[in-house]
Every structure is written in structure tokens, then in C-alpha cells.
Amino acid sequence: MLSAEKINVLFVIKPVQWSGADKVLLDVATCLNNDKYQVIFAIIGLHPAEEAVIPATFPQIRFDMPNLHGWRQVIFSLRLGWVIHKYKIKIIHMNSYHPGNYCRLAAFLARAPIIIDHWHGFNRFSWKRRTLCRLYNSFTDLSFAVSELVGQYVQEQCGTDPARLKVLYNGVDPALYAGKSQAAKVRQELGLPPEAPVVGLVARLDHRAKGHLEMLQALSLLKGRHTIHALMVGGGRRQEEMRQLAASLGLAEVVHFLGNRRDVPELLAAMDIFVLPSHSEGVSLAVLEAMAAGLPVIVSAVGGLPEIVQQGETGLLIPPKDPEALAHSLARVLEEPGLAQSLGQKAREHVQEKYSLERMAQVVNAAYDELVQRKLKDQD
């Protein structure tokens, strides 16, 4: 049931498990002041088994249109416009270029008073994309960017007015990642030797940009020096390809492909090191979760990652596409337990101070309230 006393906010989301961008929108929605805002989710549907869980407290409107191409874009825009009108949506919030451009156009035509988009990384901009984004920016009230560098990139590519751009770092709940009480049980369930070092990577296997290839190559370089077990968490179309590569490198017995999982905090507790050797990244939610769990993290020095990981303080930075550098850093953390403990402790403290959901809630609600005061004060 929708309340006539609250401001209706529509989040457009494609809730793929392990899609950090859509998980962030879910976190933003959860952070909103529920005494003032009524959140509704417009879900661009997948098979329910493949979707992240959206709390039942949020009304949901399903668009069973997982592929927005060609004529489907037009149908989606028309249906979305009808939803905006029917449910008296005052604020619409969606992710960056896709499906953001279709959403922004529909919201503009349906006269939604406040339009917000959310940028998570470094989209490739063709002339067409750049032109469309600059056009749609003329009626976008606020653009969130997950890091300073992402914000600068969006300004350069889309001509976004700095006054309409706000950095909103991703946030996590440190309390969810506080203990290792389940570590031994999880290791046993996964068939991991109790004392073996375990390194983890949480990311979808839909493309090569998350660095799964470099991870396997680094593990291969360390064979004979360290027997490391690796947890690859996340599904995707390249999972079988990476499984075959692991076998060809002689790693089949120590690399465990877990697919999509809903127990990430427990899996993190079973790890000793977290790795994300991405080729490009905004601000990774998976890295923040690993830091909140007190793990030493090794990540590529790309995008917004150097904003959250300070070299030698809260983690280690490596060049992208460099398995030798990753192997060296893994060996260093394994061979220097004092360093591993210090990196993990400082990482958790850093997340608690700057990247908590509480801090995200403060920034989000202040931004929403300012827009409401400015744009809706004269409306009934």
C-alpha cells in the first residue's frame, strides 16, 4: 500500500546477483528516510532465481523485458511513463547510461519532477552516447558518482554541470562482516584444508575486466612456492571458460568456482586475502565488503580503487593486467603475517569511518531533501 502522505520514489533496477551497481541502488533505497519517502522498485526482470533479493517491504512493479534493444526500448519507455503517471512518482532514480537514458527520457516526458541518475564506472562513450547524455543532462536534476574520478570522467564525457553532480561513495554495514566464527564450518563445507591459505575474488564472470584471468595466472606462478586455495564467487557466461583454464594450468584442485552465492559474509570469513585485479573499476562494493571483514586486499590501481585503498596502509595496489605483480603481492602477504594483520585491521577501521551505510544514508537523505525543498515546495 502506498501512502498519500509520503513522496513516492521509483528506483529502476535490474537486480542481478553480484551486480554491484544495482546492489548500490538497493542500499540507497534502504537508506532513505521511510517516514518521508515511499520507495517503489521497477524491476527489469530476469528469472527470479537469478535475482538478488529485494525486501518485501518495498512495492515492486515488474517489467519482464531483460533485453532493452530495438523496439523494446520504446515499449519500455511507454510502460515506464505510465507507471510514473499512475503512481504519482515524484522522484525517479536509476543507473547511468543503460537503462538510464531510456528512463530519463520517459521520466521527462511523464513530467516526473525530480530525475536522478547514478554513475558507477567508466562507460565507453561513442559520439552517439555522448550526445544523448549531454541532451538528457539538461533535464537531470542530480547525478551521483561513486568516486571523485568517476565524477570527473562523467563531467568530461557528458558535460555534467558540477553543481548537479555529487560524489556518493558506496557503503556497507560493518556489523555484517564482524566475525570469523563460521570460518571453520564454511571451509569444511567447501572441502578446504583447515590450515591452507585461501584467497577470494567476488565478481561476475561475464567479461574479462574483473581480472579472473590474471588471478589464475598469478596462482600458477606461485605453484611450488605456496599451495593456495582460491574461491571464485559469482556466476556468468565465462565461468566454464575460466574453469577449463584453471584445469589447463594445473589448478583444478585448488580453484573453487562457487557461482552465485547469498552468503558472502560467511565466505569472506573463510578467506585470508581478497583480490580484485580489475582492468577498470569505479568503487567496488566487493572490495569494501572484504575490507569491512578485516581482510588484507590486493587490488588494481585503476578508477576509484586508489581512493579507498591506500598503498601499504589499508591494502596493496598493483598495476592492472599484471599477474606477476599480483603473484608478488600475494606472496608478500602470505610471508609477512604482521603485514597481513595490519592491512586487514586498518582496512576495517577505514571502512567503518568513511564507507558505512550510515554515512551513505546521511549524504543521500541530505541530497534528496535539498531537491525536494527546491523542486517540490510549490506542489501540493
What does the alpha-carbon distance between residue 331 and residue 224 come to, in Å, rounded to a whole number?
A: 12
Tell me the torsion sign for CA atoms 340, 196, 191, 47. Answer: positive
Same domain, yes or no: 141 and 87: yes
Which pLDDT does position 374 carry in this prediction?
94
Instruction: Confirm whether 128 is domain-assigned.
Output: yes
Q: Are 223 and 314 in the same domain? A: yes
pLDDT attached to residue 44: 84
Do both 159 and 269 map to the same domain?
no
Q: Which structural domain range is residue 300 located in?
A: 174-354
CATH number at residue 267: 3.40.50.2000
Q: For residues 186 and 334, state if they share a domain.
A: yes
- Report angle CA 170, 14, 66 to the nearest 5 degrees: 155
Residue 2: inside a domain:
no
- Are residues 361 and 337 part of one domain? no
254 shares its domain with 186: yes
In a domain, 59, yes or no: yes
**111/105 Cα distance (integer angstroms):** 10
pLDDT class of 122 with cuts at 50, 70, 90: confident
Asked if 84 and 104 count as a contact pair (C-beta separation under 8 A), the reply is: no
Residue 125 lies in a domain: yes
Q: What is the mean pLDDT of residues 69-90?
A: 88
Question: Considering the entire predicted model, what is its pTM?
Answer: 0.89
pLDDT above 90: residue 129: no
Q: Which residues contact 290 (CB under 8 A, 6 or more apart)?
A: 200, 202, 268, 271, 274, 297, 347
Does one domain contain both 75 and 183?
A: no
Tell me if 67 is assigned to some domain. Answer: yes
Clarify whether residues 235 and 336 are in a common domain: yes
Average pLDDT, the chain: 91
Task: Check whether residue 98 and residue 221 sit in a common domain.
Answer: no
* One domain, residues 166 and 299: no
Please report which confidence band the pLDDT of residue 206 belongs to, taking 50, 70 and 90 as the band edges: confident
359 confidence band (pLDDT: 50, 70, 90): very high
Phi-psi category of residue 12: left, alpha or beta, with phi > 0 → left and psi -120 to 50 → alpha: beta
CA distances for 183 relative to 177, 260, 272, 339, angstroms: 12, 19, 10, 21
Does residue 275 sit in the same domain as residue 288?
A: yes
Is residue 366 over pLDDT 70? Answer: yes
pLDDT of residue 299: 98
**pLDDT: which is higher, 326 or 98:** 326
Domain membership of residue 144 (yes or no) is: yes
Specify the length of the chain in residues: 380
What value does the mean pLDDT take over residues 337-362? Answer: 96
Total number of domains in the chain: 2
The answer to whether residue 282 scores a pLDDT higher than 60 is yes
In a shared domain, residues 39 and 144: yes
112 lies in a domain?
Answer: yes
Q: At residue 232, does pLDDT exceed 90?
A: yes
How sure is the predictor about 7, in pLDDT bands with cuts at 50, 70 and 90?
very high
Tell me how far apart the alpha carbons of residues 112 and 128 are, in angstroms, rounded to a whole number. Answer: 25
Whether 312 is covered by a domain: the verdict is yes
